[in-house]
Amino acid sequence: MTLEKIFVIAKTTFKEIWKSKILVNVFLIGLAMMVITYVATEFTYGVPERVALDFGLGMLSLSSLGISLFLGVGLLSKEIDSRTVYMVISRPVPRYAFILGKIIGLMGIQVVNVLLLSMMTITATILLGGQVTELLIWAILFTLIESLMLLLVVVLISLLANTVLSVLLSVVLLLLGHVIRETQDISFVATNPVLVKLLDSYHFALPAFYKLNLKSEVIYKSKITSSYLFMSGGHGILYSLFLLLMIVYFFNKKNLD
């Protein structure tokens, strides 16, 4: 019964966002990306497919992270402000079912967004003489996991802070999560035991987004072991589950006033 309700809430959330025509904007972004790719290849010698992949994966990442950030931050706060949450949880619907349904619905939009832009990226790559590699599929999958992680980070923070602060903190965490590995490699940091400990401890609690970034490996056709791929993907999924548990816990405790 509860599963059905999660599905009903997810379906309605998906429908509501779908009808807001956000995906039309995504489609236009994709078209713009293809035009930019074409123009850029005119100024590039020898590797036009790399340009297509660079622009394509970049746009894919930006649009999916943008959707997570800006739709995620309002996922609950808008519901509380407009009192629609009261309509839903005054029915025999557990709070966790409500929040899971909302997140799954928004993730459905993310899947469509990623599929749409991936298809366009792959089309542009093939048209410019490139190939679809296994690593490209992994990179697309990792972008989806990364956007899920960011969505959950934003939703969790929005349960504890206001909208502006939630966006700011999430962007900070996203940036930190991407630069943490490079920061550890800086010799000043690597030779300072306190900083090493500090940055190591980052991995225990905060999201390591860099593990899900395969863009340069795809573009430069670097070799990556399957164990690295499974470990990184596993990290993303497990961390997302951890965030989901935190969200359910805090939403159950939250005073919806």
Partner 1 sequence: MINFNEVSKIFKSDLITKPFIALDNVSFSVPEGSMVGFLGANGAGKTTSLKIIMDFIRPSNGSVQFSETLGKNKLEVFRNIGFLPERPYFYPNLTGEDFLIFMGQLSDMKVSDIKEQITLWSPRFKIDHALKRELKTYSKGMLQRIGFLSTIIHHPKIIILDEPLSGLDPIGRKELKDVIVEVHKQGKTVFFSTHIVPDIEEICDRVIFLKEGKLTYDGSVSALMKQARNQDYEISYSSNLEIDSALIKDKIKLPDNILKITVPSEHKDKLVQSIVQSQGIIHNLELIRPSLEDIFYHTGTRS
Could you tell me the smallest distance in angstroms from the CB atom of residue 167 to partner 1?
22
Query: What are the structure tokens assigned to 230, written together?
Result: 């499974």
Nearer to partner 1, 94 or 233 (CB): 94
Residue with tokens 């930190």: 176
Residue 5 or residue 50: which is nearer to partner 1 going by CB?
5
**Nearest Cα residue to 37 out of 244, 176, 219:** 219
Smallest separation, CB 92 to partner 1 (Å): 4
Interacting residue ranges for partner 1, rule: CB under 8 A: 1, 4-5, 8-9, 12, 15-16, 19-20, 82-84, 86-94, 255-257
Distance, in Å, from the CA atom of 95 to the CA atom of 92, rounded to the nearest integer, reads: 9
Closer residue to partner 1 (CB): 93 or 169: 93
CB of 62 to partner 1, least distance (A): 25
- Smallest gap from Cβ 16 to partner 1, in A, equals 5
Which of 89/141 has CB closer to partner 1? 89
Whole-number Å distance between alpha carbons of 31 and 249: 41
Residue that has been written with the tokens 């949880």 in this structure: 89
What's the rounded Cα separation, in Å, for the pair 151 and 69? 6
Minimum distance between the CB of residue 48 and partner 1, rounded to whole angstroms?
40
Q: Are 84 and 173 in contact (CB under 8 A)?
A: no
Instruction: Give CA angle at 93 (147, 105), nearest 5°.
Output: 25
Closest CA to 113 of 235, 21, 16: 21
Query: Closer to partner 1 at the Cβ: 16 or 200?
Result: 16
